Amino acid sequence: ISQAKQGVTSALLSDMTASCLVELISLGSIGGGSEASTIACSATSLASICLTNASHDFENYQSSAVWSLLPALVQGLIAPMSFFEFHREIVWAIWNMIQRNRLQHRLLMELIGTSAEEVATSLTGMLTALQSSDAVEPSLGIVDMLLRTLDDNHTRATTGKSLKILFEEVGLVDALWYVCDNDVDESDVAEKAAELIDDFYEEQEEDEDGVDEMM
């Protein structure tokens, strides 16, 4: 079964198929209406399944068109005219691609790329969108991985700001508190949000508390 699964994944991630998936995914980024978005969602879902199965030996695809999938997914994530359903499929596909990938660091660097502020804004927005309950887990997972894996100065070259500050400025701290405050089940997701606040923004929270007490 494992060999058959690997064979199917390799076939689906061939250069021709990967190129076709990139074209179909891109339909969700151009504001082509609900029909185009539905096609893009289906293509993204298929890509997500394949990338999940391929993540354990992703280095075998280094010279493949498979690498063009990530830029297409990032473009879909930051596209302002995309439908929410498409964004949800996008964050799941990215999360499935990187969470257990041995090339994780390289993929994270390509994810943040030259669109760091747009990516940070989109991921943060997914944490607080009213319809995003099933998109919080992958969005938060990606944010957590970016902050914990990449050097804090990684984005300075393109934005002049550290990754931590960049996320803070697009509203991540408020979004993390939103996740914590609206989680009634004390889930792992809320715990991860709380840990991010403690590990990266606790000093800021203490400073704000001190200002409130003085006033």
The residue type found at 22 is V
| Residues 96/51, Cβ–Cβ less than 8 Å | yes
Q: What is the pLDDT, as a whole number, of residue 11?
A: 65
d(CA 45, CA 86): 9
> What angle, rounded to 10 degrees, do the helices at 104-112 and 69-78 form?
40
Per-residue pLDDT tens digits of the chain, which is 215 residues long: 455 556 666 666 678 888 899 999 999 988 778 899 999 999 999 989 888 877 777 777 766 778 888 999 999 999 988 888 999 999 999 999 999 888 899 899 999 987 899 999 999 999 998 666 789 999 999 999 999 998 766 777 777 888 999 999 999 999 999 999 987 777 889 999 999 999 999 876 555 554 455 54
HEC assignment per residue over 64-128: CHHHHHHHHHHHHHHCCCCCHHHHHHHHHHHHHHHCCCCCHHHHHHHHHCCCHHHHHHHHHHHHH
Q: What is the pLDDT, as a whole number, of residue 53?
A: 79
Nearest to 49 by CA among 90, 2, 101, 96: 96
Q: Calculate the dihedral angle through the C-alpha atoms of 117, 118, 123, 126, rounding to the nearest 10 degrees.
A: 130
Q: Taking the CA of residue 128 as centre, how many other CA atoms within 13 Å lie in the half-sphere pointing to its CB?
A: 14
User: Please, which residues have CB within 8 angstroms of residue 38's CB and are 6 or more apart in sequence?
Assistant: none
Q: How far is CA 146 from CA 43, 55, 108, 209, in A?
A: 25, 18, 7, 27
What pTM was computed for the model? 0.86
